[in-house]
Structure 1
Amino acid sequence: MDTPDRQLRNFLRIAELKSLSRAAEELDQTQSGLSRQLAALEAHLGKPLFVRTGRGVELTEAGRKLHDAIHGSYRAIDQAVDTIRDSHGTTQGTVRLAIVHTVSYYFMADVVAAFVSSHPGVNLSLMGRSSPEVVSLVESGKADLGFVYDTAVATPTLASHPLFEDEMCLVTRESAVGNEADDDGIDLRGRPLRLVGFPPAYALHRMIQSAGLHPDYVAEAETVDAILKLVSTGVGDCILPCRLPDKLLADYGLRKIGIRSPLLRRRIVAISHGERHALPLTGALLECALQVARSLP
């Protein structure tokens, strides 16, 4: 139902994003539906509120006056609602968490266990994605929290909370023979590499490239299990976080080899939308993640 309140809130979101299409995506509406609501508001006021530009929309003089008149009031209302919710606590609802695929194998189980045990009535929705997709989901409001490589976070709208560092290792078959590695690991520089890896958009793929390595990618896959299955067939090795459980690798007949050079290390961070007040459940999940991260060796 297109109530005046909804029309005004949608107007504020369009003004903030300066884009009808981006506002429609964030509000989970069709662009045509959002346009009809805006047209109804403009018809009621008798003035256009936006003008189209080459890069989106800009407020007209009437739009600026309306924005200035209602922006503070709506912010005060939202803050009052959030304060009441915070003071009474939240025990039910859904938290949407987007994560890079790799952390689901060695970090998420402890986080989920800690969170669910203290919030049994809450539904935790997990979405495994690439780093850019995790950033996009949190930025658009389709995820409340994200766990991602810090190199993928390049937007001022997101708040970043350091969790832990991930160091990479070479994963190869147990039966593979190699004498290049010592107690400090293997030097991959100048060494021919046949790898199974993530697609180019993934942070791990870009990390390998930025370290000066130029492997021959014999196959690509979007999940850790698919990568390990391919490596187990002998088509190539892979580079994955050292924190992957040894039992998982053993199930595929694989082993880890430390990498001495180049240093392949990235920080995992939790990200939230810095311009929105986080719900209490989101804050509780973040605190669980920080506590688990602090306990990691």
Structure 2
Amino acid sequence: MELRQLKYFLAIVENKSLSRAAEHLHVAQSALSKQLAELESELGVQLLSRSRNGVATTEAGRVFHEYAQGITKQVSDARAAVLRSSETVVGSVLAALPQSVAATLALPLMRAVARRHPDIQFQLNEELTGNMAEQLLVGRVDVAIFTDTMPSRDIAFTPLVEEAFVLMHSPQDAQAPAPGDVSLGQAVARPLVLPSPQHGHCTRWIVDEALRRAGHAPQGIAAEINSVYVLKSAVEAGIGPTIMPLGLAQREVEDGRLVAHRIAAPDMVRVLGLCVSRHLPTTNAKLAICRLIGNVVRDLCESGQWSGARYLASDAPFGR
């Protein structure tokens, strides 16, 4: 398998057409078809299906596409690394944040990278958690903020922050509990609005596990919504209460659009941390971004800008 074949395959997928990919790459379409055929023959699977509407990936092609993107990214990073001195902080870093973290961390992190490391080509993705693990494992993502649920043999986890979950409801909710703390039983007394299990690694999984350990079960699910913004809007509209970290709806609570109650249950917390692949090289750029993420998280916690969060990583390997 050659790097050229991977680039050709990616170009075809991105352009959804052999002719457009050939034009983009400035190669003959026959040469492109030949390289694709050799790649499919070597792998023993069909990667692309052709129709009058263009080209689409097969199921095998979708899997291979993830790996091809990761491989070409690593090669590009390696080329940049060997052309610079070992002390130079340069290269590309792609960080992924779950939706439940991006609202708090994304903008401060982008500002910090621009200020501290302008020579790093930094890309930030907001992702559903069900997609993040696979992207990190295949090398498409360099670093992710996640819970400690990825396979430890493949992913190194450095704890950063602990967040408590709260019960959240609309201020017009006629069935809302009295102001103050609530018990776990009170928190799940009515059907909840929650993310679906397949995309709830950093929220739904934690809630479900805490309820399982405590022997509680929610009365039902009012709605399953995999968009943080739509989920908060649904709670505000009175579709049902939810359980989420306070920082995720800090602005809505401050504006009086949502009401939060601390849940008196020790397990209703999540620990988020830096996740990096154990099988990919730690470049100077990646290390610099990991350290910077730790610093930004610490500053947000200590300044109170990340409500309900406690910084954990004072002696972590990516700390100062």
Normalised TM-score (structure 1):
0.67
Tell me which of 194, 197, 202 is aligned to 2:194: 197
Question: Is contact 2:172-2:238 (8 Å) kept?
Answer: no
Deviations 1:55-75 (A, max 9, x none): xxxxxxxxxxxxxxxxxxxxx
Q: What is the DSSP-based 3-state SS (H/G/I as helix, E as strand, rest coil) of the residue aligned with 1:107?
A: helix
Q: What is the DSSP-based 3-state SS (H/G/I as helix, E as strand, rest coil) of the residue aligned with 2:271?
A: strand
Question: Is contact 2:165-2:262 (8 Å) kept?
Answer: yes
Q: Distance in 1 between matches of 2:234 and 2:79?
A: 54
Question: Is contact 2:89-2:120 (8 Å) kept?
Answer: no
The 1:124–1:84 alpha-carbon spacing in structure 2 relative to 1, beyond 3 Å, is closer
1:217 offset after TM fit, Å?
1.1
The 1:132–1:2 alpha-carbon spacing in structure 2 relative to 1, beyond 3 Å, is closer
For structure 1, which runs of at least 5 residues remain unmatched after alignment? Answer: 8-29, 40-77
Q: What is the DSSP-based 3-state SS (H/G/I as helix, E as strand, rest coil) of the residue aligned with 2:205?
A: helix
- Higher strand residue share: 1
The 1:2–1:259 alpha-carbon spacing in structure 2 relative to 1, beyond 3 Å, is closer
Tell me which of 176, 187, 196 is aligned to 2:173: 176
Q: Which residue of 2 aligns with 1:16?
A: none
Q: What is the DSSP-based 3-state SS (H/G/I as helix, E as strand, rest coil) of the residue aligned with 1:283?
A: helix
Q: Which residue of 1 aligns with 2:222?
A: 218
Question: Is contact 1:97-1:146 (8 Å) kept?
Answer: yes
1:104 offset after TM fit, Å?
0.7
Q: Distance in 1 between matches of 2:162 and 2:266?
A: 16
Are 1:261 and 2:265 matched, yes or no?
A: yes
Q: Distance in 2 between matches of 1:33 and 1:240?
A: 50
Q: Which residue of 2 aligns with 1:56?
A: none
Question: Is contact 1:246-1:255 (8 Å) kept?
Answer: no
1:110 offset after TM fit, Å?
2.0
Deviations 1:4-56 (A, max 9, x none): xx89xxxxxxxxxxxxxxxxxxxxxx9965454589xxxxxxxxxxxxxxxxx
Question: Is contact 2:147-2:271 (8 Å) kept?
Answer: yes
Q: What is the DSSP-based 3-state SS (H/G/I as helix, E as strand, rest coil) of the residue aligned with 1:141?
A: coil
Identity %: 20
Q: Distance in 2 between matches of 1:269 and 1:112?
A: 18
1:255 offset after TM fit, Å?
2.0
1:143 offset after TM fit, Å?
0.5
Q: What is the DSSP-based 3-state SS (H/G/I as helix, E as strand, rest coil) of the residue aligned with 2:185?
A: coil
Structure 1 range deviating more: 249-258 or 280-289 = 249-258
Structure 2 counterpart of 1:199, which letter?
Answer: S
Q: Which has the larger radius of gyration?
A: 1
Are 1:246 and 2:250 matched, yes or no?
A: yes
Normalised TM-score (structure 2):
0.63
1:106 offset after TM fit, Å?
1.4
Q: Distance in 2 between matches of 1:33 and 1:90?
A: 38
Q: What is the DSSP-based 3-state SS (H/G/I as helix, E as strand, rest coil) of the residue aligned with 1:235?
A: coil
Structure 1 counterpart of 2:289, which letter?
Answer: L
For structure 2, which runs of at least 5 residues remain unmatched after alignment? Answer: 6-34, 45-76, 303-320
1:276 offset after TM fit, Å?
1.4
